[in-house]
Structure 1
């Protein structure tokens, strides 16, 4: 039975966790304010679901929650990191706490958790012993937009961490990322603002959750891809400048 640890379980993470559970995986969830998601999945899939509450902005909690879930799962085959605050931070009013609020749970926690799962993954059988997937943002690689400086600095560090850890963990653990475009409307976006974002994609539609799940599952099966950041953004990266 395959075992995955997933962070960021409210929206996209929930759909990925549910799909993996339906395919027979065991899943460990790291959540901060989404205990209801853990309880819902636990009720549906029983003792193949584990959950640990943690604040991933704290190094020790990222470390401790990972260790606890590895023990509960009896090992680990995959780590999927979706946890990602997303708040506007205009550069003229940027504060130290804004950087910490984004960087620590997005990039720092990813590195800490990867460091923790790596030795456990090496105990698995086969040439490919583990797979790690980060979830980035399409605009980080192309045209980051205004007023989200802390978020994009954190995502940029996350993208770099994918490449660094892919080399550090080779040849037995694969590290890749999916750089998403507009997928699920942020809670603080109006419908009008969200539609403006969607309309900037060449396909004029949001990224399909089904596509996200399918691409994730592909990256959990590949044997010869590492250090890759895949755009899944309805073509947004080819449509020009951002505001």
Structure 2
């Protein structure tokens, strides 16, 4: 699929990695629609940065755990651009608690945002892509789906579930819709990360450095452009999964 002049919908696209994805694909000539959760994410600033690259942009406030809000996000994207070529399910939440302390509320929130959201966003765009006879869905999982991380069992369950959903959707939505996932390692540390955390993250990579959101976006670009890729889960982790 060609990226230039296409329409890419990114959930969680106002800040951090999602914002970097939007800017990267805008530089490639794609029109960008993105969701955000709170005005504190400064979606208008992201929208203006995308438009400054000469493409169209749309921001829609959306809680991806709410099906009605998902439907509105897709409807507004279609009203603005008339098509959706790629969906990047980037909205996510990181919750950390020891297993014996995880509450039902924490469990439900992790599953609702990280698994239910991508599932129903994909369900909402799939009929559009089928009618177009072409489309790509890219889910963002992470290494917790394959490794054991202390105090992240609920998060890992949501991401492992997303791996399974990716494979099922690839099988059910073929041949017109291709579905894949990427599994980033450390590509963007939180603001104010300690030197100890930075050093630890570097040492956990075989390449002895932290990755960038743009390097993850480059992998997504390959997935979009190569029409013979579907059903795969692709790490972009500097070899961390081997350590």
Query: Normalising by structure 1, what TM-score?
Result: 0.90
The equivalent residue for 1:84 is 92
The equivalent residue for 1:100 is 108
Q: Distance in 1 between matches of 2:139 and 2:175?
A: 18
8 Å CA contact 2:144–2:160 kept in 1: the answer is no
The equivalent residue for 1:137 is 142
Q: Distance in 2 between matches of 1:42 and 1:21?
A: 6
Q: Distance in 1 between matches of 2:50 and 2:206?
A: 39
Q: CA deviation at 1:149?
A: 1.6
The equivalent residue for 1:7 is 11
The equivalent residue for 2:204 is 200
1:16-74 superposed Cα distances (whole Å, 9 cap, x missing partner): 21121122211111111222443433552466001100111222212321222122221
8 Å CA contact 1:41–1:49 kept in 2: the answer is no
The equivalent residue for 2:164 is 160
1:167-196 superposed Cα distances (whole Å, 9 cap, x missing partner): 110111000011010110134743312421
1:71-105 superposed Cα distances (whole Å, 9 cap, x missing partner): 22211100001111112121111111111221111
Q: Distance in 2 between matches of 1:43 and 1:24?
A: 11
Q: CA deviation at 1:140?
A: 1.2
Change (3 A) 1:89 1:43: same
| 1:28 is aligned to 2:59 | no
Q: Distance in 1 between matches of 2:160 and 2:192?
A: 23
> How many residues of Structure 1 are paired with residues of Structure 2 in the alignment?
235
Partner SS state of residue 113, structure 1: helix
8 Å CA contact 2:89–2:118 kept in 1: the answer is yes
Q: Distance in 2 between matches of 1:190 and 1:147?
A: 20
| 1:190 is aligned to 2:198 | no
RMSD (Å), alpha carbons: 1.8
Change (3 A) 1:4 1:138: same
The equivalent residue for 1:60 is 68
Unaligned runs of 5+ in 1: none
The equivalent residue for 1:216 is 220
1:115-143 superposed Cα distances (whole Å, 9 cap, x missing partner): 11111112225xxx0001011102312x2
Change (3 A) 1:162 1:188: farther
Q: Distance in 1 between matches of 2:215 and 2:87?
A: 19
Q: Distance in 2 between matches of 1:204 and 1:144?
A: 21
The equivalent residue for 1:236 is 240
